[in-house]
Amino acid sequence: MGICWDKECLLCGSRPESINHLFFECEFSNEFLKEVLEWLKIGVKRTNIEGLWRRITRRAKGKISRSLIKAVLAALIYHIWQVRNGALWNKVVTRPEKNLKMIKEESRRRAN
């Protein structure tokens, strides 16, 4: 039994899948990122994952704020990967809005 591996991005289907594409060149993940940044009230230009991490954590004021933002970004990356795996194994792509709701709930639970 072999696994058929499609080289195209499973979330947008427009480009070959790579780390840089999946995080955050892909239309899907970029839209998801924009919604998370809007929720956090952080304005950051589109960038790769390493640059994004540095810029956002530098802008956070205080240790608690920085920790919360890092937790939200980690949750974002986790959820993008989960959606990607859902697309691969179940042929289902969950919309960013639904995942954002889960990230908000998880973040609020961790903050309390």
The tens place of each residue's pLDDT in the chain, 112 residues long, gives 445 556 899 999 999 999 989 998 999 999 999 899 889 888 777 667 777 778 777 777 776 677 888 888 889 999 999 999 999 999 999 888 888 999 998 887 876 6
Instruction: Using alpha carbons, select from 86, 98, 100, 103 the residue that is nearest to residue 10.
Output: 86
Read off the pTM.
0.82
Q: Domains in the chain: how many in total?
A: 1
Q: How far apart are CA 70 and CA 72, in angstroms?
A: 5
d(C-alpha 69, C-alpha 76), whole Å:
10
Alpha carbon distance 29, 79 (integer Å): 10
Which residue reads 């991490």 in tokens?
53
Query: Is residue 9 in a domain?
Result: no
Evaluate whether residue 28 is within a structural domain: yes
Domain that holds residue 82: 19-111
- Asked if residue 11 belongs to a domain, the reply is no
39's tokens: 């929720």
- Length, in residues, of the chain: 112
The token pair at 38 is 């809007």
